[in-house]
């Protein structure tokens, strides 16, 4: 009884913009506590209004420093900003080294910025399982723009596309030729391509490779052709930071495009569809294993598969037919 009162109280504080309440609720959801469903039921009605920006790219390309620059620009425009940064969990110890916030500390005294670092906790796809819910909590807190930075992704970590309205892919010079860029996967999720560290040697060659790859894509008759923005997100002097205005303008243009063409509605639909699928998967698995618990059947099923008397597909079919399909 007492616990549910606490949750109501914490959600009330969250809606009033209390960062401690937000932080606590995020931990609850991250740890997958039973109460997290109750939290999300209360949080959900207060979400859906924020603009969500995804930033992905390999480790070391400058995602965090770009995020830092973008926050400065967005704050100048008077927008409040929430940031979720994901770093990988160790597959061996389960521990993680969360090293993105260190680039974002210049905002540490700005009440209009909330930053949360998360470990992926074994979830593949460049994010963590609870990222969907964490974004909702930060939205409910009142942040107008939410930047989601994936862990250093390689070629196929594209989950961010299911969460973000606008996806930035960050590349640097010298990451390979146009053949790399032509492979399926990460290039295709980009709404905006950022060529960071554009002051490095080889930037022009990389730019040409990217342009030629994209010119092929443009033949497919797509309405939105990803612009390539050259940036320098770190420099010893502030005046040597480059391309951030152009990048902010490109983000605004994409935002307008989404609204005008109603593509935003489709993105929101797909996001909820994905979210729903994930929850169904989790809950069904829990339900089925719970149903089998104590019957000794789970062990029997597993052993029959090991001993090649059955296969996992038949077992799943049998279990689903027994427990889930209503009898005619």
Partner 1 sequence: MVKRTEQRIKVLVTKVGLDGHDRGIKVVASMLKEAGMEVLYLGMYQTPESIVRAAIDEDVDVIGLSYLSGEHLIFTPKIVEEMKKNGLEDILLIAGGTFPAEDIPTMEKMGIDKVFRAGTLTDEFVQYIVGNLKR
Q: Both tokens of residue 255?
A: 């935002």
Find the part of the chain contacting partner 1 (CB under 8 A) among 115-123, 179-187, 265-273, 319-327. 115-123
Q: Return all residues near 276 (Cβ < 8 A) that are at least 6 apart.
A: none
Would you tell me how many other CB atoms lie within 10 Å of the CB of residue 141? Answer: 27
Q: How far is CA 252 from the centre of its chain?
A: 20
Should residue 115 be labelled a site residue for partner 1 when binding is judged by CB under 8 A? yes
Strands (DSSP E) found in 107-208? 113-119, 145-149, 166-171, 192-195
Should residue 98 be labelled a site residue for partner 1 when binding is judged by CB under 8 A? yes
Distances (CA, A) of 43 to 22, 40, 281: 11, 5, 21
Should residue 234 be labelled a site residue for partner 1 when binding is judged by CB under 8 A? no
> Of 8, 12, 16, 20, which one interacts with partner 1 (CB under 8 A)?
20
Distances (CA, A) of 294 to 196, 284, 289: 56, 18, 10
# residues contacting partner 1 (CB under 8 A): 36
Interface characters, 75-94, with partner 1 (x: CB under 8 A): --------------xx--xx
> Of 109, 201, 295, 328, which one interacts with partner 1 (CB under 8 A)?
109
Should residue 72 be labelled a site residue for partner 1 when binding is judged by CB under 8 A? no
Cβ-count burial 203-220 (b if 16+ within 10 Å, e if not): beebbebbeebbeeeeee
What 8-state DSSP symbol labels residue 48? S
What 8-state DSSP symbol labels residue 167? E
> Of 13, 15, 17, 35, which one interacts with partner 1 (CB under 8 A)?
35
Should residue 7 be labelled a site residue for partner 1 when binding is judged by CB under 8 A? yes
Find the part of the chain contacting partner 1 (CB under 8 A) among 60-68, 112-120, 191-199, 310-318. 112-120
> Of 105, 240, 261, 303, which one interacts with partner 1 (CB under 8 A)?
105
**Positions that interact with partner 1 (CB under 8 A):** 3, 6-7, 19-20, 23-24, 26-28, 30-35, 89-90, 93-99, 101-102, 105, 108-109, 114-117, 119, 121
């Amino acid at each position: 009884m007492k616990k549910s009162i606490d949750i109501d109280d914490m959600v009330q504080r969250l809606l009033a913009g209390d960062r401690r309440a937000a932080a606590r609720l995020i931990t609850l959801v991250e740890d997958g506590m039973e109460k997290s469903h109750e939290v999300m039921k209360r949080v959900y009605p207060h979400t859906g209004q924020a603009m969500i920006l995804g930033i992905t790219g390999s480790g070391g390309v400058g995602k965090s420093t770009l995020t830092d620059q973008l926050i400065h620009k967005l704050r100048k425009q008077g927008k409040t900003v929430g940031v979720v940064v994901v770093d990988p969990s160790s597959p061996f110890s389960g521990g993680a080294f969360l090293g993105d916030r260190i680039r974002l500390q210049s905002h540490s005294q700005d009440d209009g910025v909330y930053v949360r670092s998360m470990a992926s906790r074994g979830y593949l796809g460049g994010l963590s399982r609870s990222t969907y819910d964490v974004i909702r909590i930060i939205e409910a807190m009142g942040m107008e723009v939410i930047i989601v930075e994936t862990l250093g992704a390689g070629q196929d970590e594209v989950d961010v596309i299911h969460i973000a309205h606008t996806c930035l892919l960050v590349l640097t010079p010298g990451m390979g030729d146009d053949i790399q860029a032509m492979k399926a996967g990460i290039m295709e999720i980009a709404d905006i391509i950022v060529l960071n560290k554009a002051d490095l040697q080889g930037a022009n060659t990389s730019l040409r490779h990217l342009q030629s790859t994209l010119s092929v894509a443009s033949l497919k008759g797509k309405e939105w052709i990803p612009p390539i923005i050259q940036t320098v997100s770190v420099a010893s002097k502030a005046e040597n930071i480059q391309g951030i205005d152009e990048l902010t303008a490109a983000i605004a243009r994409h935002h307008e495009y989404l609204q005008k063409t109603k593509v935003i509605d489709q993105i929101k639909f797909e996001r909820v569809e994905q979210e729903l699928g994930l929850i169904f998967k989790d809950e069904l698995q829990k339900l089925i294993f719970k149903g089998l618990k104590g019957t000794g059947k789970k062990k029997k099923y597993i052993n029959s598969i090991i001993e090649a008397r059955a296969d996992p597909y038949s077992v799943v079919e049998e279990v689903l037919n027994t427990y889930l399909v209503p009898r005619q």
